[in-house]
Amino acid sequence: MVTTPQQASQVVTGLPQSELISTRQPVRHQIVIVGGGAGGITVAAQLLKLRDRLDIAIIEPSDQHYYQPGWTLVGGGQFKFADTVRDEATVIPRGVTWIKDQVVTLDPDHNTVITAAGVQVLYDYLVMAPGIQIDWDQIEGLPETLGKNGVTSNYSHVHTQYTWELLQTFQGGTAIFTYPATPIKCGGAPQKIMYMADDTFKQKSGVGVNSRVMFCTAGGSIFGVKAYAKVLDQVVARRGIEMKCFHNLKAVRGEAQEAVFEVTTDEGVQDVVLKFDLLHVTPPMSAPDFIKTSPLAVPNHPGGWVDVSPATLQHHRYANVFGIGDATSAPTSKTAAAVRGQAPVVVNNLLSVMDQQPLPQTYDGYTCCPLITGYNYTVMAEFDYDGNPVASFLMNPAKERWSMWLVKKHLLPFLYWQRMLKGAPFEGEMLQPIRRLLGKK
């Protein structure tokens, strides 16, 4: 069932008919999930697999559901944008109430969520899965020039196709790819498009074009996990890409095609202006504003993340609240693979709280970042909280492989749409045969 701000309910394909709900009267559900993205849908589906009579509501304002890991491949000309989107109604699990609205206030002291339409949604248990907020306006001039003047970003579904257009029409010059000072979703994405762009530039007309490719990162290294940073350093050196560390993008002068960086050196901080012909921006990100202003946020932290235990994903102060995905304080990379690792922990621990039992599962920080290092090659970077490499495919993960390119391009989208969002087992049933196959190669 769908509840809309206009006090009208429409039947979502495959979902049961239900009575209209007034947007001015409180509604109550046993479990309320904030967010209908990867985390929210996966948790709802897994909960219902275990207990099909649970009363679950998902609060999600968007009509569309995106496979965001595919946007890099859209920007690189490998996917069409339509490959990465489905109607939200088609991924909401059968039996779940869809409240098609946006959360504006969280009141965990009264087990209440308030939406933009004024609906008070009461809950017994709450799962926070709203995703991450992209703060475009934190970079001066970026909102005004994004999508023109050679400025693009694969973090906006509106501009992924403009990225591919820029790669195709690039006639030479300087191409800059940035990484901000904040946590971001899919930490490898700023590099993935850079390597595909470099391939494109070098293959133009069979002889390539005169290009200068730069990776400007606010951090001190190319990647946070040493085993994979070593491989990526070699990729950058092989390609002749210029690495510029401690370069944080602060402004874009679109018409002049100038990028202004705040550069940290031993002598202090100074502004440096770099000219560009193509600029791919990875913008700053944070938790959604309605979390930052709520009691659920980490106290005195500018990111505003949902304050959960890294191990159990239960809120530190509200035992009936759990978090999953990009908006949590869990210190791991924010990826769909992290959601996959977190979902069973959230589901089983939530059910244990409902049963007044000890929490049975812990999350080790597992995440995966398929690092495309060019067309036809990928480093399947899997690791845990401690930065230890994890090998799901029975081979050294810190190597560029054609087989992992096939996994990234063909297998992972299938598993996302057909397995993960449907609450089906991700390990064993699907991956074990693939591991054995790849392990033999």
Task: Show which residues are catalytic.
Answer: 186, 369
Handedness of CA 153, 154, 156, 159 (dihedral sign): positive
Q: How far is CA 305 from CA 142, 292, 300, in A?
A: 24, 7, 10
Secondary structure (DSSP) of 100-166: -S-EEEEEGGGTEEEETT--EEEEEEEEE----EE-GGGSBTHHHHTTSTTEE-TTSTTTHHHHHHH
Residue for token pair 């402004």? 251
Q: Are the CB atoms for 324 and 307 separated by under 8 Å?
A: no
Q: How far is CA 154 from CA 81, 186, 248, 412, in A?
A: 11, 11, 18, 19
Q: How far is CA 327 from CA 105, 238, 351, 381, in A?
A: 16, 36, 22, 22
Q: What's the CA gap between 114 and 411, in Å, rounded?
A: 39
Q: What's the CA gap between 189 and 72, in Å, rounded?
A: 7
Question: Mapping DSSP to helix (H, G, I), strand (E, B) and coil, where does residue 73 land?
Answer: helix
Q: What's the CA gap between 81 and 88, in Å, rounded?
A: 16
